[in-house]
Amino acid sequence: MSRPSLGEGSPGQQAAHRAFTQGLVGPGRPDAHTTVIAPCANPLCATPAIGAAPAEGMVRVTGSRDGARTHWYCDGRCAAIGHARAELRAIPVRGKGPR
Ligand SMILES: [Zn+2]
């Protein structure tokens, strides 16, 4: 079954489509088949930050005010995910206050 699509009748729509495809025509390339979230293979990643770093290069990521603990993460992607999770937890839920 093909996806429904809007027609591209007007000159403005056709120009926008050409700009989007950069002049390429025909079917698009196949999906990349890459894993969106690859699990971290480091067993020390996400260790609760009670003491010193469990390994060199680990990054201490502060938890959130709602009680989420501070953890050690791998530098880079894992630490970024930890920061993002802490920030998301800090967003108040409508009508309930901070979680
Ligand atoms: Zn990690």
Residue 79 lies in a domain: yes
Domain count, the chain: 1
Closest CA to 80 of 51, 37, 44: 37
Evaluate whether 54 touches 46 at the Cβ level (below 8 Å): no
Determine, yes or no, domain membership for 44. yes
Q: In which band, very low, low, confident or very high, does the pLDDT at 7 lie, cut at 50, 70 and 90?
A: low
pLDDT band, residue 83 (cuts 50/70/90) = very high
pLDDT at 8: 61
Q: Is residue 22 part of a domain?
A: no
On whether residue 19 sits in a domain, the answer given is no
Flag whether 97 is in a domain.
yes
The predicted model scores a pTM of: 0.57
Query: Is residue 5 a part of any domain in this protein?
Result: no
Position 40 scores a pLDDT of 93
pLDDT for 2: 65
User: Does some domain include residue 6?
Assistant: no
Taking all residues of the chain, what is their mean pLDDT, rounded to a whole number? Answer: 85
Q: Distance between CA atoms of 88 and 92, rounded to whole angstroms?
A: 9
Which domain does 47 fall in, by range? 32-99
CA of 74 to the centre of ligand 1 (A): 4
Measure 71 CA to ligand 1 centroid, in angstroms. 11
Q: With respect to residue 62, please indicate whether it lies within any of the assigned structural domains.
A: yes
